A = this chain, B = another copy of it.
C-alpha cells in the first residue's frame, strides 16, 4: 500500500522476484509450490496461487498454457530490471581477467573486447568502433607513387590513418605536388569532416588553379575514405551462442539473428539507436523483447553500453541473448568494460615497452 509503486504491494513484489529469479535459473515455468518453498514468506502454495493469479491479471507473468507454471512477461522482466534486480557494484579493479591488453591497434582491442564479453556471458556480443566524425584532420600528404597514381595519406587527430590512391592523367612534378600539399594542409588542417563546407571547397579549388581537378579528387577521396570506414566497423563474437538457447534456436529467428551477426549491416541500426537512447545515468540501455531497435531481435533481450572517448567520440558495446538473460552479470560486465574503454584511446600511453 504505502509502497512507492501503485500496482504491487511488497508481498507481490517478492513473489514476482522469486518467480523471475527461479525462471532465470531453470528456464522452466515455475509453479506455486516451488515458490512456496523457495521464499522465506512461509506461505502455502494455495496462497501463492492466488497472488500469481493477480500478477497474471496485472500482466507481469504469463501462463504458457493452462496447468503450466508461470513465466515472466516482457513487463515482468522490465519491472525486474528496473526495480528488483540488485546491481552488484564491484569495483573494477577486482576483476583481473578483464584487463585489456593495450595494443597499438584499436581494431585488436575491440575484437578482444567482443570476444572477452562473449566468453564471460555466453551470449552474442558486438562492439562498434567509435564514430570519429567530430575528429579533426591533423595532416594530409600527397605522394608520387608512379606515373598514374598519387597516394593521399590522411592522419586524423587520434592518429588514425587513411589512405586513398588517386588516378591521374599525367604525372605531376615534385614541385606541384609540394605546392598542393602545402595548400591542402593550410586549408584543411584542424577541420572536422563536417566543417568542410562548400565555401571551403570553392576557395580551395580556386587557389589550386589548374590543378583544381586533383583537389576535387582529394576531397572526394577524403569523404570517401572516412565515410566508408565509419559505416560498418562492427566487431562481433559468440554469435553461435544463440543456438545454445532453445527458446531462440528453435524458431527460424535464430537463423535471422545469425545472419544479422554475419552480415553486420543490420546491427548498424542497433548501434545508432542505442547511441541515441542514452538517458540513463549509467550509460547502459536494456531492451526487452519488442523494445529492441530491430525487428530481428524481438524475441531477445538486448543490453548496450555506450563508451565515450571524449570530445563526442562514442561507440557501443552490445549483448544479445534470450530474454531469460542473466541481467545482473551482463550489466556488470558491460559497466566494467565500458569504464575500461572510456578514454583508453585518447589517454596518453607511455607505459609501453616500445
Are A167's CB and B258's CB within 8 A?
no
List chain B residues, Cβ under 8 A from A201. none
Q: Which of A160-174 contact B (CB under 8 A)?
A: 161, 163-165, 167
- A217 near B141 with CB under 8 A, answer no
**Per-position binary interface string of chain A over residues 250-291, scored 1 when its CB falls under 8 Å from any chain B CB and 0 otherwise:** 000001001101100000000000000000000000000000
Instruction: Say whether B217 contacts A240, CB under 8 Å.
Output: no
Inter-chain contacts of A295 with B (CB < 8 A): none
Which residues of B lie under 8 Å from residue A159 when comparing CB positions? 145, 149, 165
**On chain A, which size bracket covers the interface?**
20 to 34
Total copies of the chain: 2
CB-based contact B243/A262 at 8 Å = no
Q: Which chain B residue lies CB-closest to A141?
A: B143
* SS class, residues of chain A in contact with chain B: strand
A binding-site residues for B, Cβ under 8 Å: 104, 138-139, 141, 143, 145-146, 149, 151, 153, 155, 159, 161, 163-165, 167, 217, 236-240, 243, 255, 258-259, 261-262, 352, 354
Would you list 25 pairs from A and B whose C-beta atoms are within 8 A, ordered by A residue? A104-B165, A138-B145, A138-B146, A139-B145, A141-B141, A143-B153, A145-B155, A149-B159, A151-B155, A151-B161, A153-B163, A161-B165, A163-B163, A167-B352, A236-B262, A237-B262, A238-B262, A239-B258, A239-B262, A240-B255, A240-B258, A240-B259, A240-B262, A261-B262, A262-B262
